[in-house]
């Protein structure tokens, strides 16, 4: 009978955020019969992971023994031993020899003053015998948290037993605090097979998820960024900082550090009491500086900086690195807490000293602002100059911070006025990808400013900050038009955004094109070249996707001089439109050259959203070229940036799904495809919804789920027809839909898709699309028994795709040819398809062709291996996996035989269970047994 002898762990987390990899490693170690030692610094989440693992493993253990020591109790001998064995003493005492029982009872109860010196061997053997006696009833789990505070006597006894347990089913799950990698000495309390697993800091998205799940979802992304930087990714520190912000009546001003709660100050600043007042002031100056060095501290008036910082290093407040001139605090929180602890006059004095000592004009301006209370037009002007310099350096986030400081130091009647600085800061925040900060500042301006020009600019910031979820700010447009009046410059701004609304919200490319053309006309009349260029680029993009005959001439108009440098490299500018046109025209090399140049420029300028967009576009280009491994790397990088900044997540997930289906894991591609559809539907994004569905349909096709592919791609067809998209090179889903229809026996419908798409592709000269459509038509012909014509058409399609540099489609066509040619040696063989897929690093496709080749070589399977009738409704991959499991194969064995990953087998089994209405592999085996009995 399972028995947990202490209270179960409270507040268990169902999701150990950011700890999936170490959690799985620890789980695998425990399930395999081993022990685990979790280690890392204070607050890193060891106890959370330990409690979650203990709760999970306790379900299969007969006995769970727990102890959790504290520093104040570490001097009490045998205390941890009493926690572990005190409640089970009655159960095991009868199994112990008298000498061992007496020694153990004496140690646990405190009677008889047992000691290791007097009863050493008897007591050591008693602990070992007690654990063996408990294990006789079933597996035992020993859970020890804060191992560093275990009293030495208990540590010695636990280690003695652990080293001698052998195959006895006793597993240890321990956690220990370490500030570095030196955890080895704690392994002496664990069995020899113990796996040490270090928990490191969380990433910024993981900190954001942690804060949201713990009740702080209202924090802006820029605030979360500051929390992540200040906490160093430590979850405990991050939560305490988030709580302090939530409870603070006023958020920190731009340039100011986060408020540090008293609990954390005490945790990290206890060693400050050992510093002299002068050394402490030197550290305060260092904490106020962006990149403090001994030379900077000297220039700021700290004459004994070297000696004072050396003392701080000895106390562990500063990190020691002889090769690094910049002083670095041992933890970012030390710097923040030191600054927060200092009185305001001391902080201003530190900034005043740094305002003359710093060599960088941006740093000098920032320190001058933080040293100056109240308004000061001179300081505001210095800050505005520094913001412009930061903007030119490609640091829009810094420019936004400086702009807000300039607004703070500008008198209400100043010229420029404070709101002018605020709006420029909001526009910089948009460039930097800090949409929530931009939105907040724009709303602040709208609450009090009545000037039409500034109000319209503020409305534009609100719309830009909405991103693809532009439908959520529909109510803004009437107000923006009212504020614009009859001013053509302001009206051009509003109509440009109305073009995006027509495209994204209503999915109407024709309406978007008309609004963009109107915006370009208004902007030209007003002499606003920047808005005119953006509107022309939008018009050209819409015409390209619509297959409009004016697309090329509009692109030419958008590229005429004079150009605005920021528009030229913007992801909604003419350069991006030209790239899209080249890709759709199969000029991949030119497209890649243009795109790499655009990516380099937006990175130089710090244009976060454009960087995300261009990384995604470059990944798409590499996919078409058949460089699947490179495409996967770029797609993952783009998605990481998108999630981090909250920019274009739906589009990023969509492209990542396509990349995973081509060069990664099919199960992951399916998961990402579903996520992309959810994202775009939630945003009301009609533009990317069809592309998300196309990615999902493609993933279903690669996974062998033809019916699901037809459903998803059928929706794409309806959406694009309704939106007026006629160019089949936009999403390139038509060949997939026709192939899926052939696989489900609907050859007439497949031929109709081919015919309709071919007419548009011929009109627009889309050569690669035509070749893919020929491949699909060849599959239709093969299904109708026209084998010779199908082979000829496939050979032609393969050769044309090779000439166009469409590597992945060339390989897919070679695979279809090998299937049709029955795998005979030569250019139409499986070997040729394998070679091409390997060249592309198209791993999911490579597994398919290798499995097909192996199956062809093995001949038809014996009758007993045929799938039971109950599997008839499953997809091909699902039937194969289910059949192998029915034969007794493990997930790993099934994965090896099918040339897929274990994760793919697991995901496929989950779908099998759902479709068959069963719950486990045991039910599947029973189903097989029942079929055999019939």
Count CB atoms within 10 A of the CB of residue 161. Answer: 24
Angle in degrees, 0-180, between the axes of helices 686-702 and 488-504, rounded to the nearest 10: 30
Which range, 206-215, 261-270, 454-463, 718-727, has the best average confidence (pLDDT)? 454-463
Q: What is the pLDDT of residues 425-471, one digit of tens each?
A: 999 999 998 888 999 999 999 999 999 999 999 999 999 999 888 88
Q: How many helices (H) and strands (E) does the chain have?
A: 47, 8
CA separation for the pair 877, 856 (Å, rounded) = 16
Nearest by Cα to 64 from 136, 2, 130: 2
Count CB atoms within 10 A of the CB of residue 590. Answer: 13
CA separation for the pair 466, 469 (Å, rounded) = 5
pLDDT at 894: 73
Q: Which residue would you say has higher pLDDT here, 264 or 350?
A: 350
C-alpha separations of 584 from 544, 580, 687, 718 in Å? 9, 6, 17, 21
CA separation for the pair 234, 203 (Å, rounded) = 9
Q: Which residue would you say has higher pLDDT here, 57 or 930?
A: 57
pLDDT at 349: 95
| Least confident segment among 77-86, 107-116, 397-406 | 107-116
pLDDT at 9: 35
**What's the pLDDT band for 933 if we cut at 50, 70, 90?**
very low
C-alpha separations of 177 from 19, 47, 482, 736 in Å? 17, 10, 62, 54
Contact (Cβ atoms closer than 8 angstroms) between residue 628 and residue 651: no
Contact (Cβ atoms closer than 8 angstroms) between residue 437 and residue 226: no
Nearest by Cα to 731 from 677, 776, 691: 691
HEC sequence for 9-70: CCCCCCCCCCCHHHHHHHHHHHHCCCCEEEEECCCCCHHHHHHHHHHHHCCCCCEEEEEECC
Q: What is the pLDDT of residues 692-707, one digit of tens each?
A: 999 999 999 999 899 9
pLDDT at 11: 39
For residue 118, pLDDT over 90 is answered with no
Angle of CA points 491, 494, 496, to nearest 5°: 105
Q: What is the pLDDT of residues 231-285, one digit of tens each?
A: 888 888 888 888 888 887 777 776 677 888 887 877 777 777 888 889 999 999 9
Q: How far does Cα 492 stand from its chain's mean position?
A: 37
The torsion defined by the Cα of 239, 242, 244 and 250, in degrees rounded to 10, comes to 180
CA separation for the pair 437, 158 (Å, rounded) = 54
pLDDT at 871: 66
Contact (Cβ atoms closer than 8 angstroms) between residue 816 and residue 779: yes
Angle of CA points 29, 664, 889, to nearest 5°: 50
Query: In 366-376, which positions are buried (b, 16+ CB within 10 angstroms) versus exposed (e)?
Result: bbbbbbbeeeb
Nearest by Cα to 771 from 743, 812, 720: 812
| Least confident segment among 183-192, 421-430, 487-496, 555-564 | 183-192
SS3 of residue 409 by DSSP: coil
CA separation for the pair 71, 865 (Å, rounded) = 63
For residue 175, give the H/E element and its range: strand 170-177
Count CB atoms within 10 A of the CB of residue 773. Answer: 24
pTM: 0.75
For residue 930, pLDDT over 60 is answered with no
Average pLDDT, the chain: 87
pLDDT at 901: 66
CA separation for the pair 458, 189 (Å, rounded) = 63
CA separation for the pair 761, 767 (Å, rounded) = 7
pLDDT at 471: 85
Classify residue 432 as exposed, middle or buried by CB count within 10 Å of its CB (0-12, 13-18, 19+). buried
CA separation for the pair 216, 258 (Å, rounded) = 15
For residue 866, pLDDT over 50 is answered with no
Q: What is the pLDDT of residues 505-543, one digit of tens each?
A: 888 889 999 999 999 999 999 999 999 999 999 999 889
**What's the pLDDT band for 10 if we cut at 50, 70, 90?**
very low
DSSP secondary structure code for residue 182 in this structure: -
**What's the pLDDT band for 31 if we cut at 50, 70, 90?**
confident
């Amino acid at each position: 009978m399972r028995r947990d002898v202490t209270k179960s762990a409270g507040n268990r987390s169902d999701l150990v955020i950011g700890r999936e990899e170490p959690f799985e490693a620890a789980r695998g170690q425990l399930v395999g019969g081993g022990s685990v030692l979790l280690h890392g610094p204070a607050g890193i989440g060891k106890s959370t992971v330990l409690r979650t693992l203990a709760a999970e493993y306790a379900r299969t253990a007969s006995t769970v023994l727990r102890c959790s020591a504290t520093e104040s109790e570490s001097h009490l001998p045998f205390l941890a031993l009493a926690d572990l064995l005190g409640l089970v003493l009655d159960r095991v005492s009868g199994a112990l020899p008298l000498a061992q029982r007496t020694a153990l009872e004496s140690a646990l109860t405190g009677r008889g003053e047992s000691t290791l010196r007097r009863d050493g061997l008897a007591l050591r053997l008693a602990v070992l015998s007690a654990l063996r006696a408990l294990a006789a009833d079933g597996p035992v789990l020993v859970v020890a948290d804060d191992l560093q505070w275990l009293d030495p006597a208990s540590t010695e006894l636990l280690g003695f037993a652990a080293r001698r347990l052998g195959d006895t089913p006793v597993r240890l799950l321990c956690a220990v605090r370490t500030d570095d990698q030196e955890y080895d000495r704690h392994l002496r309390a664990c069995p020899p097979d113990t796996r040490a697993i270090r928990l490191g800091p969380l990433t910024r998205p993981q900190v954001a998820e942690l804060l949201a799940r713990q009740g702080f979802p209202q924090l802006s992304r820029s605030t979360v960024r500051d929390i992540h930087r200040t906490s160093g990714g430590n979850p405990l520190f991050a939560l305490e900082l988030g709580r302090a912000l939530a409870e603070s009546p006023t958020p920190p001003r731009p340039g100011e550090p986060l408020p540090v709660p008293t609990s954390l100050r005490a945790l990290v600043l206890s060693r400050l009491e050992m510093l002299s007042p002068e050394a402490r002031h030197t550290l305060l100056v260092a904490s106020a500086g962006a990149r403090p060095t001994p030379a900077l501290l000297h220039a700021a008036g700290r004459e004994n900086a070297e000696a004072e910082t050396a003392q701080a290093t000895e106390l562990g407040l500063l990190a020691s690195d002889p090769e690094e001139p910049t002083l670095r605090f041992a933890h970012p929180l030390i710097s923040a807490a030191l600054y927060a602890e200092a009185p305001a006059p001391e902080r201003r004095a530190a900034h005043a000293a740094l305002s003359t000592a710093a060599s960088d004009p941006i740093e000098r301006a920032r320190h001058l602002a933080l040293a100056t209370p109240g308004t000061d037009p001179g300081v505001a002007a210095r800050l505005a100059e520094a913001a412009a310099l930061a903007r030119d350096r490609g640091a829009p986030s810094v420019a936004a911070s400086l702009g807000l400081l300039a607004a703070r130091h500008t008198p209400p009647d100043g010229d420029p006025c404070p709101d002018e600085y605020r709006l420029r800061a909001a526009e910089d925040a948009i460039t930097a990808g800090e949409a929530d900060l931009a939105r907040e500042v724009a709303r602040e301006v709208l609450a009090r400013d009545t000037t039409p020009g500034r109000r319209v600019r503020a409305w534009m910031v609100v719309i830009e900050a909405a991103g693809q979820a532009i439908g959520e700010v529909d109510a803004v447009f009437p107000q923006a038009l009212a504020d614009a009046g009859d001013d053509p410059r302001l009206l051009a701004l509003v109509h440009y955004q109305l073009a995006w609304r027509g495209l994204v919200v209503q999915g109407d490319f024709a309406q978007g094109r008309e609004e963009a053309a109107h915006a370009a006309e208004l902007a030209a009349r007003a002499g606003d070249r920047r808005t005119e260029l953006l509107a022309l680029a939008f018009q050209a993009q819409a015409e390209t996707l619509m297959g409009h005959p004016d697309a090329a001439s509009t692109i030419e108009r958008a590229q005429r001089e004079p150009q605005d440098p920021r528009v030229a490299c913007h992801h909604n500018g003419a350069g991006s439109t030209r790239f899209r046109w080249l890709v759709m025209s199969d000029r991949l090399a030119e497209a890649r050259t243009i795109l790499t140049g655009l990516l380099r420029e937006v990175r130089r300028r710090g244009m976060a959203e454009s960087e995300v967009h261009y990384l995604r576009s470059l990944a798409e280009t590499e996919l078409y070229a058949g460089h699947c491994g490179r495409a996967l790397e770029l797609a993952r990088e783009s998605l990481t940036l998108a999630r981090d900044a909250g920019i274009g997540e739906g589009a990023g997930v969509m492209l990542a799904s396509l990349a995973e289906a081509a060069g990664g894991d099919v199960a992951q591609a399916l998961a990402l495809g579903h996520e992309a559809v959810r994202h775009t539907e939630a945003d009301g994004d009609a533009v990317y919804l069809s592309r998300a569905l196309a990615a999902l349909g493609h993933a279903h096709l690669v996974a062998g789920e033809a019916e699901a592919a037809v459903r998803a791609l059928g929706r794409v067809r309806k959406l694009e027809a309704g939106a007026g998209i006629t160019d089949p090179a936009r999403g390139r889903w038509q060949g997939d839909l026709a192939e899926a229809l052939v696989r489900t026996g609907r050859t007439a419908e497949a031929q109709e898709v081919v015919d309709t798409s071919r007419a548009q592709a011929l009109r627009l000269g889309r050569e690669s699309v035509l070749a893919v459509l020929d491949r699909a038509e060849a599959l239709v012909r093969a299904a109708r028994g026209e084998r010779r014509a199908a082979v000829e058409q496939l050979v032609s399609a393969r050769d044309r795709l090779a000439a166009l540099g469409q590597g992945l489609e060339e390989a897919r066509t070679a695979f279809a040819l090998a299937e049709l040619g029955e795998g005979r040696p030569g250019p139409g063989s499986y070997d040729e398809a394998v070679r091409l897929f390997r060249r592309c690093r198209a791993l999911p496709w490579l597994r398919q062709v290798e499995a097909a080749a192996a199956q062809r070589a093995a001949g038809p399977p014996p009758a007993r291996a045929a799938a039971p009738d109950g599997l008839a409704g499953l997809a091909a991959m699902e039937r194969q996996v289910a059949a192998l499991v029915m034969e007794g194969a493990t997930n790993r064995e099934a994965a090896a035989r099918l040339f897929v990953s274990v994760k793919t087998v697991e995901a496929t089994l989950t779908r099998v269970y759902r479709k068959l209405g069963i719950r486990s592999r045991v039910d599947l085996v029973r189903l097989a047994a029942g079929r055999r009995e019939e």
